[in-house]
Structures are given as structure tokens and as C-alpha cells.
Amino acid sequence: MSLILELRDTFMELHEHKETLFWAQAMDLTGYVTGSLEKADIEMKRFTSDPSWLSKVREEEARSGLTSEEKLILDGWRRFFDANAIESERARKMQEEMVEMEGELARKKMDAKLGYTDPNTGKHLQTSPVKLRLMLMTNDDEAMRKAAWEGLHDIEKWLLNDDMLDIFAKRNEIGAALGYDDFYSWRVQINEGISKRVVFDKLDDLERNTRDACKRLVDSVKKEHGEDGAQPWNFDYLTQGDLTKQRAPYLSFDTAVERWGRSFAALGISMNNAKLQLDLVDRVGKYENGFMHLPHPSFIDGGEHRTGVINFTANAVPGQPGSGQRALETLFHEGGHAAHFANVMMPAPCFGQEFAPTSTALEETQSMFMDNFITDPDWLQRYALDKDGKPMPSELIHATVEESVRTLAHGMRGWLCVPYFEKTIYEMSDLERTPDAVMDAARKIENRMAFQPALARPTLSVPHLQDNESSAYYHAYILAQMAVFQFRDFFRKRDGHLLDNANIGRDLAKVIWSRGNEKNFMQFIEALTGEEFSAKATVDLVNKDLATVHREVDDALANEKKLPRFDGPIDLKHDITMIHGDKSISRSQNASDFPAMAEAYGAWIREMEKDADK
């Protein structure tokens, strides 16, 4: 067997096995065997970190008579092993120990019965962090909101009283063994191909340019509602909660799938014949954050397209105000990830897998570009309809857009808390990294960034920190959001509008998606927009005056009426199954049965909402 075929087959066998188990564990599926994911993850990491593969690839690259496709494939595998191979046997052993420690932490957390204490009854209620965050946003009772925040804060305390500090230390041991200052320095270098210093130079610049806008918002809330308005259990409710409830009839959960499919079809987006599973509803035991993983990457194998197999999930809560908006956000966000990876058309699976050297910032740009649509005024006027088919009132659209602009700086600075916090804890010595010191660092960074005593979502409760594959990469969301605004400016200037613009799907597939990880983040941004990556569009939006914002909303609403409506079939070139844990709800394999799938799923959601009301 040639080296190229051996690499393909070994990677695919290990990757599919690990990802199948990852889904089973994250979704809490019946039949999952405790500990099997860690074993599969260790086997996968033994392959990816094995330096002998890198030597073999380099030897093969030096061979004469290679075809241009063979050279491309070998270059892809060399970059893959350059990013992942670990020369030190000691570091490889520590990596396996880290995986086992994280697996043990995840098992303990699942059994911990975390939740909140009802202030009216004194009874502890087990519930998911997702429901707690929705309570913070929409519950009218301040005591209940405070109880929800304390439930999230309990996650922080639980982590620091268990194994999390040992995991931080183990990660740093690995970084040091590989010649880096710390774990963060290593992860950002292999994921983005740039140094930690370069990343934080860009984050520092964004912090400076969003500081005044954020402080103005917090000061205005305190002026209107008193100092308590800045408390973490009050702030989001006061700035966003009422509008979330007002929007709910126009962004219902039961119609979310149809709305998502129609909008993606109008944008010219194809899933390239991928097979997708979507699990959108929250439940106890399920992983607490939306994600997309692909057990089978899309690639061209000897001229034949091996289509992607993709899983993605959300944590919407039927019957809870804002659940429909959350479902839509996740469908657009994770659907953006799915479209990206489903359309990779490179000649080996190493180009289309979601880990290094694939840029996390590039991945998140594709997903966040999509989820930004659902707060656009023209999208809301066209797609946000109530059960009688009436559009969202223009007054509510104006308020929604104003809210998104006013809170943008605060929201981005909330994201900044995570990378600045992780940078701080990984730069601590093991002796300095005590529970009190770590908790104190989280609160000080939140206060510096958000001008509040704490964030509504306490930094340590963010699940990304608990897994090595998602730790030390939250900066990617911020870089991605900056790129999103640059993308939006590019398409608006070139095409005049974003709504139902079929050029968007075609251009993203051609310029970025099809090429996999052939380029890095900044190279792909420039390839699409013709300009270097820049924060200019972000800074301009954060500091835009509200009179201009409302004038632009009026223009967008007027223009929407002139733009043709997409009335074609919802043909995403797809095979989609809607599931809930082990249960299959509905399925669509082509354009003709997509409406029936969406309606069957909507009917199931309506039954869930009835049960929630009881």
C-alpha cells in the first residue's frame, strides 16, 4: 500500500471511530460505554502526534516522479503532522494523561446534578446551564435570575474544588515539554500558525477601540436602573430580555427548521450531498453547548467524491422565551460550519477535518457570518413571521438592530474575558494557581472588560475550558467576528445587499470552502475580500451613532420590498435527519420532502412546548 493510501485509511478509521463515540457521549446516548471515548481519543492522538509519520511524508516528498496531485496530498499531510506531531515521548505520554483526566472530569460533572436553588421553595433543581442562561435573560423575577446566576457560579466553584487546576497544570507541562512558554502559546501556534503575542496584539487593539462604547452602555443602565442594574443577574435582562420576549412570536421554534432551510437555499448554499444529523433540544445529560463535528470529512478520493457525514447540536428549551431565536442562531451558526466542511473538495481527508492545521478562526468566520443574518432588518422583515404570517413590526426591528449595535461592544468584550483569563491562568505558576487566585482573576478580568462585578455567564463556566481541543482558542471567535464584519462590508459594497444573495454561497464555496485548510485564516480573508484582515469594519460599527443606524434600517426595510423573493425548492443537496438523543423525529433526502420534514419536526416541538406548559 502506498503511503498516501495508508495515511488516508488509518486517519479515516481512527477519526470516524473517535467522532462516533464523541457524539454518543456528548448526546448521552443509550449504549455508550463509559471511558470508550477517552480510549479512542488517545488512539487518535497517538496517530496524529507520532513523529515517524512526518519523517515518512518528507521522505516521500523527496521522491522523484510525483504527480502534481501527489505533491498536493503530501504537502497537506506534512502540514497536518507539522501541526500535530510531538517529538518528545514524554510529552506524548502527558497528552494521554491529560485526555484521561479530562474524561474523568466530564464524568464527574455529568453526575454532579448541578442546577439552582429555587428561592421560593428552597429546593435544589437540577437543570442545564443553557436553561440557567435563558432564565437570566427572560425571567421577570430578580430573585429567580439571581438564583440562576448562582447556579452558573456553582459550576465555577465545583470545577475549582475538583480536578480543573490539575488539568491546567498538565496542559502547561505539555506546552513546556514542546518548547513553548505555556499551553496557550503552543495551541495558538499550531491552530492559527501565529504567535500568542500576535493574537493578543490584535485583541488589545480591539479592547482599546471598544472600551468607551461598552462603558457608555453600562453607565446608561446604571443611570436608569441604579447600581444593581450592572449586577450579572440583571444586566442582560435589562438590556435584552424584554426584546427577546417581544421577538418570540416571530421567531418560533416550531418553524425554525423551515426558515433556516429556505434562507440557506436562497443564499445559494449547498450541503454537497452530505449526510447530517441535527439534535436541537436541550436535556439533562446532554453537552451544554452547540457544536458541529464531522465523523467523515468530505474529500475527493481518486476522482470520486466521498461526501461528508456531519453532526450538529443545539440546546434550545421548548416553551422557554427565546428558545426559537436560540434554535435559529444555532441552525445558522452550526449550519455555516456544516456547509463549510461539506464543500471541501481537496484530494485527502487531512484538508477537510476541523482540527489543526485548519484555522479555528476561519471555521468560526463561516458559522458566525451565517448567524449574523438573523438580526439583519431586511431578513427579519422577510423571514420573522408570526403564526398568522404577519411580519415583525418595523418598530421591533428598529429596536432589535439598535440593541445589537448598542450591546455589540459589551458582547465582544465579554468574549474577550475568556482568552485574557486563559492567558492569565496559563502564565501563572502551579503554586500561584490556587482556587482563590483563579476565581479572583476571573472576576478582575470581567470587571475590567465589562465594567460589571461579574458576567452573566461566569468565565469559568464556559465549557470550552474543560477540553484541551477547545481550550486556548476562544480568541478565534473574536477574530472571526472581526472577519465577519469585513465579509459583510465586502458583499454589500459589491452586490448591494446580503439578503437572499445567491452569490454568497457560491463565492464562499469556490474561494474558501472547497479549498479546505490549504491557506491560513488571514490568507483566506484576503482571498475573498481583496483586502488584508482588519478590525476597521468592526470598530466602525461599534462606534456608529444611533441616528445613522436607524437611517440604515429604514433603507434596508425599503430595499427588501424591491428584492425578489426566493420561491424555489429548499434544495440544499442534503440528507438531513432531525433527532432527539436516540430518537429519530423526521428526515429529508431531497428538496421535495424538506417541507414535510420541517413540519413533522415542528409538530414534535409543539408537543414539547405543550408539555413544558403543564
Q: How far is it, in rounded angstroms, from Cα 529 to Cα 503?
A: 14
Q: What are phi and psi of 588, to 5 degrees?
A: -135, 130
Report the 3 state secondary structure along 522-583. HHHHHHHHCCCCCCHHHHHHHCCCHHHHHHHHHHHHHHHCCCCCCCCCCCCCEEEEEEECCE
pLDDT at 240: 87
Q: Are 471 and 465 in contact (CB under 8 A)?
A: yes
Q: What is the CA radius of gyration of the chain?
A: 24
- Omega prior to 377 cis, within 30 of 0: no
CA atoms within 13 A on the CB side of 364: 19
Strands 299-301 and 115-117: unpaired
Kindly give the pairing relationship between strand 574-580 and strand 583-588. antiparallel
Provide the β-strand partners of residue 587: 577
Print burial letters for 86-124: b (CB count within 10 Å at least 16), e (below 16).
beeeebbebbbbbbebbbebbeebbeeebbbeeeeeeee
Residue 285: all three cell numbers together: 445529560
Q: Strand 274-281's sheet: what is its strand order?
A: 291-296, 309-316, 274-281, 574-580, 583-588
**Mean pLDDT, rounded, for 123-138:** 91
**What integer pLDDT is reported at residue 568 of this predicted model?**
94
Question: Per-residue pLDDT averaged across 140-161, rounded?
Answer: 96
Largest CA distance in the chain: 77
pLDDT tens, residue by residue, 398-443 = 999 999 999 999 999 999 999 999 999 999 999 999 999 999 999 9
Confirm if 271 and 339 have CB atoms less than 8 A apart: yes
Mean pLDDT of all residues belonging to the chain: 95
Cell 469594519 identifies what position? 537
Q: Rounded to 5 degrees, what are φ and ψ at 280?
A: -105, -15
Confidence of residue 322 (pLDDT cuts 50, 70, 90): confident
Q: What are phi and psi of 279, to 5 degrees?
A: -120, 105
pLDDT tens-digit series, residues 488-543: 999 999 999 999 999 999 999 999 999 999 999 999 999 999 999 999 999 999 98
Mean pLDDT of 133-150: 94
Mean pLDDT confidence for 312-327: 88
CA distance 462 to 433: 18
Q: List, for residues 64-81, the tens digit of each pLDDT value.
A: 999 999 999 999 999 999
Partners of residue 76 on adjacent β-strands: none
- If one looks up domain 205-613 in CATH, what number appears? 1.10.1370
Cell of 402: 439598535
**Cβ neighbours for 111, distance < 8 A, ≥ 6 positions apart:** none
- Grid coordinates representing 353? 477535518
Residue 602 and residue 613: Cα distance in Å, rounded? 17
How far apart CA 305 and CA 299 sit, in angstroms, is: 6
Task: Please give the C-alpha separations between residue 480 and each of 412, 455, 469, 484, 485, in angstroms, as whole numbers.
Answer: 11, 22, 18, 6, 9
Place of cell 474543560: 466
> How many CB atoms lie under 10 A from the CB of residue 428?
18
pLDDT at position 400, please? 95
Which whole number is the average pLDDT over 16-42?
Answer: 96
Summarize pLDDT for 228-266 with one digit per residue, the tens: 999 999 999 999 878 888 999 999 999 999 999 999 999
Q: What is the pLDDT of residue 548?
A: 97
User: Which residues, 6 or more positions from 148, have their beta carbon under 8 angstroms from its beta carbon?
Assistant: 116, 132, 133, 135, 136, 139, 233
- Could you give the angle at which helices 68-84 and 36-48 cross, rounded to 10 degrees? 120
Dump pLDDT digits (tens) for 359-408: 999 999 999 999 999 999 999 999 999 999 999 999 999 999 999 999 99
Nearest to 76 by CA among 463, 517, 383: 517
Look up cell 443606524; give the residue. Answer: 549
Q: How far is CA 492 from CA 332, 503, 529, 538, in A?
A: 19, 11, 11, 15
pTM value surpassing 0.85: yes
Chain-centroid distance of CA 229 in Å reads 29
CA atoms within 13 A on the CB side of 410: 27
pLDDT tier at 315 (50, 70, 90 boundaries)? Answer: confident
Nearest residue to 235 (alpha-carbon basis) of 255, 250, 253, 220: 220
- pLDDT bracket for residue 172 (50, 70, 90): very high
State which H helix or E strand residue 595 sits in: helix 594-613
Task: Show the DSSP H helices in 180-227 as ranges.
Answer: 183-192, 196-225
CA distance 264 to 266: 5
For the segment 521-531, what is each residue's pLDDT rounded down to a tens digit? 999 999 999 99
Contact 393, 273 (CB under 8 A): no
Identify whether the C-beta of residue 300 lies closer than 8 Å to the C-beta of residue 346.
yes
Tally the residues of the chain. Answer: 614
Reported confidence tier of residue 1, pLDDT bands at 50, 70, 90: low
Going by C-beta distance under 8 Å and a sequence separation of 6 or more, which residues neighbour residue 541? 405, 408, 485
280 SS3 class: strand
Distance of CA 126 to the CA centre of its chain: 25
Q: Which amino acid is at 48?
A: T
For the chain, what are the domain ranges? 205-613
- As a whole number, mean pLDDT of residues 324-348 equals 96
Residue 93: the pLDDT is 95
Contact residues for 136 (Cβ-Cβ < 8 A; gap 6+): 145, 148, 149, 152, 232, 233, 236, 237, 456
What's the mean pLDDT in 571-579?
98
Between CA 315 and CA 474 the distance in angstroms is 20
Q: Rounded CA gap, 325 and 404, in Å?
A: 14
Q: CA angle, 320 as apex, 316 and 324 as ends, to 5°?
A: 50
Query: CA 406, CA 400: separation in Å to the nearest integer?
Result: 10
